[in-house]
Chain A
Amino acid sequence: MRLVLLVARREYLTVLRSKGFLFATFGVPLMALLLVTVVFGAIDGGGSASYTPPGDTGYVDLAGVISQPEPFRPFEADSLARAAWEEGQLDSWFLIPADYLDSGSVTLYTRLADSEALEDSMAAFLRENLALQADSRLPPARLAQPVELRVRASGMDLGASDAGGVFMVQFLYALAFFVAMQTTSGYLIASLVEEKGSRVLEILITSISPWQLMLGKILGPACIGLTQLAVWLAAALAARAPGPDLPVNVAFELPPDILLITCVYFLLSYFLNATIFVSIGSISDSEQESRQLAGGLTLVTVVPFIAYAVLLGDPHGTVSVALTLFPLTAPLTAIIRMGMAALPAWQLALSLTLLALSLVAAVPLAARLFRWSTLLYGVRPTPRRLWRLLRHPAQGGRGA
């Protein structure tokens, strides 16, 4: 284990001192903050847009702040609105509680897969009505931020969440994962290619078994991933109070369960991808070839973002479920679906299990490829050779 940690430490320190790591780790939060500001700033700028809601939407006003109900349907009591919603007369309804002016809290019940347009309409609707009131009790901040929204959707398995916060998790996860993978793949591949090319590998395997060496090589970048994750989480926590006046408070009120699941997904998939990168580096002849293959892998991992519209349109459909269960696309898909409150617990459990099992299967496979690459310099790894190797590994020494 000492040797594994020694290799991991060297890999870790080498990456830590690289300019690429510093840029990726500290530049990404800055870029993310900039993007969020721009994106939500644009939403804020569109505050005067029409607030026609998607679908039939009702509301219950216990705070007495609504004087112009159109285009929403008013209900006297939440029991009446709930009954109408449950009978299918309404697609959504929201409750404006008695302490709304102080808390800003509004609870939305919806069966819409995408409630973003509805939330915009509600914000505009409330702002308009608040402006008409000219109430001396009106806190100045309320007009700027009319809604602290809580969404409760039908079929929800994971409980209430902050819609803006969860979107931020999706967005930041995709960004963080993409950057982390790029950093990892870049470093792992460059490191492997250098060691193969300069024959350092030949020296290393006289001191340490290929298995230990590979484990150290995966652990090092994994610690880099953890470091990046810690920096980014710290940055996210530091950015809890967003700068611009936003129509919907998108501050990071992340439910702990989603945060925990996101971290578990990040680590499992990080290890899995790092393991695959080692395999790619082992079978490739050049850094260019390795990077092409690694680029393909990274592209697969972000397919859920490319298929975002499909996931939004049919979060319980076959594509959504398949992408949730497929280990390479599972993390992002699961997080997107959690954001839509459309991830049943059994799918979450199965998805994590499959991801973990893939990792368990990938590590010895990668070790075999890695070991093979340490022994056979210059031998082109044709598909036939690889197949033969995987079926009948050559008898070897330490770490075979």
Chain B
Amino acid sequence: MSSAEAAIVARDISKSYGRTRAVDGLDFRVERGEVFALLGPNGSGKTTTIRMILDILRPDSGSIAVLGQAAGASIARRIGYLPEERGLYRNAPVLEVMAYLGQLKGMDARAARSRSLALLERLDLDAHAGSKVRELSKGMQQKVQFAVTVLHEPELIIVDEPFSGLDPVNTQVLETLLREMRARGVAIVMSTHQMHQVEAMADRLLMISEGRQKLYGPVADIRRQFASHALLVEGGGDWSRLAGVRAVEAGDRPGEALLQLEPESSPDSVLAAIAAAGDMHIRRFELATPGLSEIFIRVVEGE
């Protein structure tokens, strides 16, 4: 895939503030139609990276192309950005704020208003179009902020903690919207500390720490990469008698067990041993892979 077709292509980008190196040699690309998670602990360089994507900051070295264009080109109208902290005029009516921010993204006044109303209806906020932003609950404000982000139908959206303050129902509404956009070919960069959201939605991820790239690739591959030499099984029997099993731990659910394998044994051989044993049965099995939260902690603590 060429650079022109990718949503973001960053090559060896670095950025320093005085003597502090905020970003150090990041290399990544984000494809159109994928959810790309940007992960890292606080102060790891995520915001600086996002600002370089948004062309608010320029890298000290390296290059970054967004939507096929180098920095400096006018691509602001093709990008939507949802910051971690809400950015709305609190004392102005919802519809007025949305229409104004839409116009700043290049929409004409009428289109900005009609699209705002449509989005408010979709988000079940149409009754609040005339309310002042400060009169809305935190979750409602978050939905308005999201609506502002996608109002101008951007090709690339960058969302920082998009589900913050949302109840499960509204979280699902936003997830559905994001998935719809992904299906339409919109590239979505998601920065969040909610790892279950990343596992549920992200196709690929970039994890950075102290400005440096630690993990990069498809979420499934990374989880496999961190897979321990263990087998998660659900069934019955005395697992400790199995040849090649070093230790047995209880799983998270009833009837589930985590079989730690001997270094020289393989999952295939253990499964064959279970099948051969007359007094054991399994209903389900999988290679034990850690969750992203665990991987995150291992990567960060391994610094």
A345 within 8 A of B: no
Chain A residues with CB under 8 Å of B101's CB are 203, 207
Q: In this complex, what residue of B is CB-closest to A395?
A: B58
Q: In this complex, what residue of A is CB-closest to B79?
A: A206
Q: Which listed residue (B17, B87, B100) contacts A201, Cβ 8 A? A: B87
A398→B55 contact, CB < 8 A: yes
Chain B residues with CB under 8 Å of A14's CB are 92
Contact flag A394-B17 (CB < 8 Å), given A198-B86, A208-B104: yes
Chain B residues with CB under 8 Å of A394's CB are 17, 57
Chosen A-B contacts, 9 in total, with CB atoms closer than 8 Å, are A3-B104, A198-B86, A201-B87, A202-B83, A206-B79, A396-B57, A397-B54, A397-B56, A397-B71
A205→B87 contact, CB < 8 A: no
Chain A residues with CB under 8 Å of B88's CB are 198, 200, 203
Q: Which listed residue (B54, B56, B104) contacts A6, Cβ 8 A? A: B104
Chain A residues with CB under 8 Å of B17's CB are 394
A205→B56 contact, CB < 8 A: yes
B89→A400 contact, CB < 8 A: no
B90 within 8 A of A: yes
By the criterion of a CB under 8 Å from any partner CB, how many residues of chain B are at the interface?
A: 30
Chain B residues with CB under 8 Å of A202's CB are 81, 83, 85, 87
Task: Tell me the bound Cα distance from A198 to B83 in angstroms.
Answer: 11
* CB-contacts of B55-98 with A (<8 A): 55-58, 60, 71-72, 76-77, 79, 81, 83, 85-92
Task: Tell me the bound Cα distance from A400 to B55 in angstroms.
Answer: 10
Shortest C-beta distance, B292 to chain A (Å), equals 27
A199→B83 contact, CB < 8 A: yes
By the criterion of a CB under 8 Å from any partner CB, how many residues of chain A are at the interface?
A: 26
Task: Tell me the bound Cα distance from A397 to B71 in angstroms.
Answer: 8
Task: Tell me the bound Cα distance from A198 to B86 in angstroms.
Answer: 7
B56→A206 contact, CB < 8 A: yes
Contact flag A199-B79 (CB < 8 Å), given A394-B17, A397-B57: no
Contact flag A206-B81 (CB < 8 Å), given A200-B89, A397-B71: yes
Shortest C-beta distance, A200 to chain B (Å), equals 4
Shortest C-beta distance, B112 to chain A (Å), equals 11
B207 within 8 A of A: no
Chain A residues with CB under 8 Å of B9's CB are none
Task: Tell me the bound Cα distance from A201 to B51 in angstroms.
Answer: 13
A99 within 8 A of B: no
B76→A206 contact, CB < 8 A: yes
Chain A residues with CB under 8 Å of B57's CB are 375, 394-397
Interface string of B18-59 (1 = CB under 8 A from A): 000000000000000000000000000000000110111110
Chain B residues with CB under 8 Å of A116's CB are none
Task: Tell me the bound Cα distance from A249 to B100 in angstroms.
Answer: 51
Q: Which listed residue (A203, A395, A396, A397) contacts B83, Cβ 8 A? A: A203
B115 within 8 A of A: no
A38 within 8 A of B: no
Task: Tell me the bound Cα distance from A398 to B89 in angstroms.
Answer: 23
B56→A207 contact, CB < 8 A: no
Interface hub of A198, A374, A395, A396 (most chain B Cβ within 10 A): A198
A289 within 8 A of B: no
A194→B89 contact, CB < 8 A: yes
Task: Tell me the bound Cα distance from A208 to B100 in angstroms.
Answer: 12
When A and B form their complex, which 6 residue pairs have the shortest distance between CB atoms, in order from nearest?
A199-B87, A203-B87, A207-B104, A397-B55, A199-B85, A200-B87
Task: Tell me the bound Cα distance from A203 to B81 in angstroms.
Answer: 7
B148 within 8 A of A: yes
A380 within 8 A of B: no
B103 within 8 A of A: yes
